[in-house]
């Protein structure tokens, strides 16, 4: 399970857009297993890439060394998460311990990043 299902539609478009700057629509479509028309629709916001397409796009981004894709995803999700947390707090719906779980996730991510070769 890759977790890509939480990536918002506009973020998915941004991922495809980053890849489209590196290769032709035809080559990108071939790499993702879709048609060039689908790439066009994704970029225009007419269609949203499915999870399987997003997974392929992320692998392709990694293969091409497009690190900005990870930054785009984290920034977009973090922004939405921040809004959701503020809403839950304002409504009194944030259970005790929830924020410590998020903190644990962030700590594990920081440790994993620190362990990567530079």
Residues present in the chain in total: 118
Q: According to the model, what pLDDT value does residue 68 have? A: 92
Do 9 and 50 fall within a single domain?
A: yes
Specify the pTM: 0.84
pLDDT confidence of residue 118: 65
Same domain flag for 57 and 9: yes
* pLDDT given at position 24: 96
Same domain, 53 and 79: no
Which residues, 6+ apart, have CB-to-CB distance to 65 below 8 Å?
none
**How far apart are alpha carbons 9 and 114 in whole angstroms?**
30
User: Is residue 53 domain-shared with residue 28, that is, in the same domain?
Assistant: yes
For residues 22 and 14, give the distance between their C-alpha atoms in angstroms, rounded to a whole number: 13
Question: Is 75 found in the same domain as 60?
Answer: no
- The pLDDT averaged over each successive group of 10 residues in the chain (118 residues) is 90 98 97 98 97 97 94 91 87 82 84 77
What CATH number is attached to the domain comprising 15? 1.10.260.40
**80, 8 contact by CB (below 8 A):** yes
């Amino acid at each position: 399970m890759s977790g890509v299902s939480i990536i918002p539609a506009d973020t998915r478009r941004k991922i495809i857009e980053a890849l489209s700057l590196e290769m032709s629509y035809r080559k990108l479509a071939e790499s993702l297993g879709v048609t060039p028309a689908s790439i066009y629709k994704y970029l225009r916001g007419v269609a949203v890439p499915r999870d399987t397409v997003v997974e392929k796009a992320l692998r392709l981004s990694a293969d091409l060394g497009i690190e900005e894709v990870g930054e785009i995803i984290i920034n977009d999700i973090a922004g939405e998460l921040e809004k959701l947390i503020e809403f839950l707090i304002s409504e009194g719906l944030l259970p005790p311990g929830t924020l410590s779980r998020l903190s644990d996730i962030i700590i594990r991510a920081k440790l994993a990043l620190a362990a990567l070769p530079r």
